[in-house]
Structure 1
């Protein structure tokens, strides 16, 4: 990314984005207070939401939904119409931001094929009659949440979701809905009593509620790996990021696929994600041990090697359904060389309709020729490219390397000369989430990556500290084995 490209990207926000997000914020505030007791400002917010989609196919249904809710008839059809309107507005903001990004960087992107079904809301329970009862149970709890509002949530309301969650977990085709509803219930329970909280994650909870409403209405959003495109070729890794929760960890690898059998086909930006269960005591480098079932993927990260894949499923959003038996490690492949040679002409995937949200934007970029600044007190890093300033998201790069997922630190980012990362839209501005950095370490040029510890800690001091404290994962597995043998 050059200074002119960053300047064009950050110079102005695409028209209508801020106004669209303001409409969404108004609805989110109304949802926080509860749709069962609407204030005049909340009524205005609902009408603004319906008005924003009035010219779309959702317009009549959104307007009718607002009328029903204002008179106290908050049924499933009305709530899903509002959820659809909210998702459509965020999708429009997502598209505008991504179009601006593509224009600034000159990135080619695939277009989404809506298919014969179009973009309208399907009938409730479109996944089939076997899932209708389960979906209805989830919708019932989501309806109670919307009527009560976040500020009225208590332990009793959260506990009332248990039967719906258990039923959703039992349906393999509803796994995404089950995980989502279970996660929302867990967050709400951890925040109870919610009314006593000084600050609520209103946008996040509204996002989860909206997505759950759409999944519970249709049920059949789960990608079908059996009918997905099969690809073979060389996967060149750019970097990886780790997302963790108290009960799960997910590794998301970003790379470029050079498919075989198509000499004229451009390289494609793809992702590969794997997940493992965890407990809250497993943190830092120990998280990598939970992913030991994926040695090829971890080896590619730690050893900076390419991966040869054969007949691996590629979903419509360019997400590889990772299979270790369909992958093998290949020759060394420096991610920075890959980015300099291929990233500029790689084709980006089209966004899956349900994922069209500004927070989902995560575009791989290579930033060079900048002056980095580090604020030690605020723990912030900024990159100055000829007057165009880019903030770096250092939240995944903690101050204490012993608790980090990898050796990348804010101090190293501040001393870097090149940074490979994901450009995201966060808090109303573009920010860079680092995946790797090139810097001079102890008078020697070095490249440091988030995934360098995928096969084990390489820093002797941190390795010694972890050896002294013991392997948390091994200890927990041993204890679990003892319990199972009793």
Structure 2
């Protein structure tokens, strides 16, 4: 187990790029209408980074225009593209380095051909409005941002929310808008989560280029073994991604199943699982550690299964043994990994499955560190463990084996546990979901059931 120590060297080798991104983000804090000489030097440094690339000419034109106070939204779209390109390069570098440390082959690139269809005129108009609004935010700067800059966008946001072609942009822009509103006025510019806010700005701006297009899927049949669930939620949305092994066509592939649902504050406990009726058999199979036999389920090039409740229960499997077989260091297996979509190539999206054992647990206040002595150590990503998860720090501290995801955030690596073994007992996020759904009258007497009944009643009256 030599890789934990080497992970920290990976972080240090990319430090200059992190610092360049941080310098660019400072321009968004100050506002592009208020740049000083140091900010302009940052833009020139970024120009040099892209010398000889396809973005060189457009970036040079944009930085020159911004430097002379010529503010046009297309120039800010170029800045978003450049920042996303840097993050994408970081993602590729970090992923390649960590996979090499783990003895895993590089992931083969798959060419995705997007449709050439032009969006409808009303969609074009809405996206142009978003670009202009995002430019206004960039010009003012987060440190000087006030509600008067945000509120006029509400009308456009409502139209975007009502447009099916813009559902992804609607989700992002709604969250971004309300997060900004909750944190204004800014009392202390040092407290601004600038990396996060500029990330959101960048993704929102990129989304104005054209609506997101789902890549072509292919039907696949085989046996699916779920190894872990990554559960995330906030006041208005809950989502989980199930990571599993798909045995099909005489080969094994890493796949994901993602399910999301809107919610309200009142649904804040185990009842969240009632929001996923299409995932009942998936959650049941996971709870029992039984394979799911699936047939003709659409599979995207990114390894995502488009789940609609398919599958029949099959034989049992040992979750931890399967995790060790495929995700320990230097396993030498032929597991197929899928390429990552361009829009998801950002260091925060790194999620490399990993099996860990033979570690010592070191507790420091509310933090847990896994130590392999001279070989290095790895922190537990506490912030990524859902408050609704069956896992907690006490269980993790007693564990002897962990299956989880290697994550990269704030310049350092950590592991997000999805399942842990304490002696012969396995505890995993989402393992009790099936029992919640199976309870007699669970939906009828729940907050979810009551809200569904009330909404149905209102619709009937309408």
What's the TM-score once normalised by structure 2's chain length? 0.90
2:433 counterpart of 1:454: yes
Alignment counterpart, residue 411 of structure 1, candidates 380, 394, 406: 394
Q: Deviations over 1:293-326 (max 9, x none)?
A: 42112212322222222111222211111111x3
Query: Residue 11 of structure 2 corresponds to which residue in structure 1?
Result: 13
Q: Measure, in 1, the Cα distance between the counterparts of 2:395 and 2:112.
A: 47
- What's the CA shift for 1:62? 0.9
Q: Measure, in 1, the Cα distance between the counterparts of 2:118 and 2:60.
A: 23
Q: Measure, in 2, the Cα distance between the counterparts of 1:143 and 1:27.
A: 15
2:210 counterpart of 1:223: no
Query: Residue 386 of structure 1 corresponds to which residue in structure 2?
Result: 373
Alpha carbons 2:302, 2:339 under 8 Å: kept:
yes
- What's the CA shift for 1:231? 1.5
Q: Deviations over 1:172-191 (max 9, x none)?
A: 22211111111110111111
Alpha carbons 2:385, 2:416 under 8 Å: kept:
no
Alignment counterpart, residue 273 of structure 2, candidates 288, 297, 316: 288
Alpha carbons 1:109, 1:347 under 8 Å: kept:
no
2:422 counterpart of 1:439: yes
What's the TM-score once normalised by structure 1's chain length? 0.86
Q: Deviations over 1:208-238 (max 9, x none)?
A: 111111110132x3314xx312221111111
SS in 1 for 2:132: helix
Q: Deviations over 1:94-134 (max 9, x none)?
A: 111101111111223432234578xxxx99x9545452112
- What's the CA shift for 1:159? 1.8
Relative distance call for 1:218 and 1:97 in structure 2 (3 A) is same
- What's the CA shift for 1:139? 1.1
Alpha carbons 1:374, 1:410 under 8 Å: kept:
no
Query: Residue 401 of structure 1 corresponds to which residue in structure 2?
Result: none
Query: Residue 308 of structure 1 corresponds to which residue in structure 2?
Result: 293
Q: Measure, in 1, the Cα distance between the counterparts of 2:384 and 2:85.
A: 30
Query: Residue 87 of structure 1 corresponds to which residue in structure 2?
Result: 84
Q: How does 1:144-183 map to 2 (within 5 A)?
A: 144-183=136-175
- What's the CA shift for 1:334? 2.4
SS in 2 for 1:106: coil
Query: Residue 342 of structure 2 corresponds to which residue in structure 1?
Result: 353
Unaligned runs of 5+ in 1: 399-403
Query: Residue 263 of structure 2 corresponds to which residue in structure 1?
Result: 278
Aligned length, in residue pairs: 450
Which stretch has the larger CA shift, 309-318 or 98-107? 309-318
SS in 2 for 1:382: strand
Alignment counterpart, residue 410 of structure 2, candidates 427, 430, 438: 427
SS in 2 for 1:349: coil
SS in 1 for 2:191: coil
Query: Residue 70 of structure 1 corresponds to which residue in structure 2?
Result: 67
Alpha carbons 2:294, 2:311 under 8 Å: kept:
yes
Unaligned runs of 5+ in 2: none
Q: Deviations over 1:415-457 (max 9, x none)?
A: 11001100011121110001011114xxxx3110111121246
- The alignment's C-alpha RMSD in Å is 2.5
Q: Deviations over 1:447-470 (max 9, x none)?
A: 101111212469xxxx9xxx9xx8
Q: Measure, in 2, the Cα distance between the counterparts of 1:384 and 1:93.
A: 27
